[in-house]
Amino acid sequence: MNAPWQPPAEDRPVSSPTAATGILIDRVRKVYAARNSSAEVVALDDISLSVPKGSILGVIGRSGAGKSTLIRLINGLDKPSSGRVVVNGVEITALSERDLRGARRSIGMVFQHFNLLSSRTAFGNVALPLEIAGTPKAEIEKRVLPLLDMVGLADKRDRYPAELSGGQKQRVGIARALATEPSVLLSDEATSALDPETTDQILELLKQINRDLHLTILFITHEMAVVKALADRVAVIEGGRIVEDGATFDVFATPRHEVTRRFVSSVTGSGAPDWLLEKLQPTQPPGGSAVLRITFKGSDANQPLLSRVSRDLGVDLNILSGQVEMIAGHPFGTLIVSLAAAPDVLRQVIAQLSAGNNLVEQLGYVA
């Protein structure tokens, strides 16, 4: 239980195009001709990503970053201007329209607004892709009922979308996406139309599906909380480019790009309570204390470190606040401490506290 946190064994960058199965996006570029002008819109600019089989990649970006364009290229609804998309060894970008129809059966799609047919019951909606694929009626029944059961809607099989809550509609959407037994699932803002509690339930369901069916999942979102809850790895997209990618935990712990930092702080905050933020000053007032934020990986590695630094350097470290949360299954903590020390001692304190995986930043001073 108290074992120190270890980085995941498989820690290659998501951008390395090595996945033979799963999803491979290789130097993809998508340029749209803008309407009513000769200008072009570069929606995606040299995107490379890989999602190994059975893993979950979250792609996060602001509005207009290129997220939906990326999804459309993966399911073959649109073609890249250059580059390749390979899904489970099949080069989607090389298929004819006819072959694409078959290939799409191995790619499940979940949508923000569910896209259910209002004239069909829950059962009828989940059955639809099987009917289109020409599956015999008895076989359809055999496949749809376990799916409705899996998403927790066995008792709603004969309900119409208008009789279902948002979360229940999305459960139907997920069951429908799984009907053709796809190997990958793509999700375009699947929880954006849902309240926070329902969002958590749907994310839990997606995680369970990933575990039980060993399904590869690529989802796009503009919410870092969704990435935190669901993704093994994350890619940050901005202006059609991947500006940062890596294991979810690492990206949270040490975001490098400005856009990533903003996304991360939307979830973790500064770690400092409001009363403290109001009192922070940029320069040291007479007799004032420096305020440090220590970001650490692992929940119990820090207590001995604080007392050691305190002892070695003869300073008193006051803990002002602390929090630990779980990100991608690993504890991630922030500790805010203050200390009164001369500049050279402060530098030594920061150096010692920065041991291991800790990130130490000075937030300012308090009187």
Q: Is 58 in the site for ligand ATP (CB under 6 A)?
A: no
Smallest distance, ligand ATP to C-beta of residue 195, A: 19
Following DSSP, what letter does each residue of 173-191 receive, concatenated? HHHHHHTT--SEEEEESTT
Contacted entry of ligand ATP, Mg ion, none for residue 159, CB cut-off 5 to 8 Å set by kind: none
Token match 């290939």: residue? 103
The answer to whether the CB of 158 falls within 8 A of the CB of 122 is yes
Residue 99 has φ and ψ, to the nearest 5°, of -70, -30
What DSSP element (H or E) covers 221? Answer: strand 216-221
Q: Is 159 in the site for ligand ATP (CB under 6 A)?
A: no
Q: Is 80 in the site for ligand ATP (CB under 6 A)?
A: no
| Chain center to CA of 258 | 17
Residue 53 has φ and ψ, to the nearest 5°, of -50, 135
Question: Which residues make up the interface to Mg ion (CB under 5 A)?
Answer: 67-68
Q: Is 63 in the site for ligand ATP (CB under 6 A)?
A: yes
Contacted entry of Mg ion, ligand ATP, none for residue 103, CB cut-off 5 to 8 Å set by kind: none
Name the β-bridge partners of 325. Answer: 332
What 8-state DSSP symbol labels residue 271? S
Smallest distance, Mg ion to C-beta of residue 30, A: 13
In whole angstroms, give the CA distance from residue 296 to residue 333. Answer: 5
Smallest distance, Mg ion to C-beta of residue 41, A: 14
**Residues near 366 by Cβ (< 8 Å), separated by ≥ 6?**
276, 279, 280, 281, 288, 289, 291, 338
Smallest distance, Mg ion to C-beta of residue 68, A: 3
In whole angstroms, give the CA distance from residue 135 to residue 133. Answer: 6
Contacts with ligand ATP in 212-241 (CB under 6 A)? 222
Smallest distance, ligand ATP to C-beta of residue 28, A: 12
Among 5, 48, 52, 67, binds ligand ATP (CB under 6 A): 67
Q: Is 38 in the site for ligand ATP (CB under 6 A)?
A: no
Q: Is 36 in the site for ligand ATP (CB under 6 A)?
A: no
Smaller CB distance to ligand ATP: residue 135 or 260? Answer: 260
Smaller CB distance to Mg ion: residue 60 or 126? Answer: 60
Among 48, 50, 55, 69, binds ligand ATP (CB under 6 A): 69
Smallest distance, ligand ATP to C-beta of residue 69, A: 3
Smaller CB distance to ligand ATP: residue 81 or 352? Answer: 81
The answer to whether the CB of 339 falls within 8 A of the CB of 316 is yes
Q: What is the dihedral of CA 89, 94, 96, 100, to 10 degrees?
A: 40
Q: Which long-range contacts (CB under 8 A, 24 or more apart) does 132-139 make?
A: 133/105, 133/180
Candidates 64-72, 270-278, 320-328, 349-357 — which segment interacts with ligand ATP by CB under 6 A?
64-72
Contacted entry of Mg ion, ligand ATP, none for residue 171, CB cut-off 5 to 8 Å set by kind: none
Beta strand 107-111 with 82-87 is unpaired
Smaller CB distance to Mg ion: residue 68 or 201? Answer: 68
Q: Which long-range contacts (CB under 8 A, 24 or more apart) does 243-249 make?
A: 245/13, 245/14, 245/15, 245/49, 246/13, 246/14, 247/7, 247/8, 247/11, 247/328, 248/58, 248/327, 248/328, 249/8, 249/297, 249/327, 249/328, 249/330, 249/332
Among 22, 52, 58, 61, binds ligand ATP (CB under 6 A): 61
Smallest distance, ligand ATP to C-beta of residue 130, A: 29
Smallest distance, Mg ion to C-beta of residue 78, A: 13
Contacted entry of Mg ion, ligand ATP, none for residue 65, CB cut-off 5 to 8 Å set by kind: ligand ATP
- In the complex, which residues of this chain contact ligand ATP (CB under 6 A)? 32, 41, 43, 61, 63-69, 222
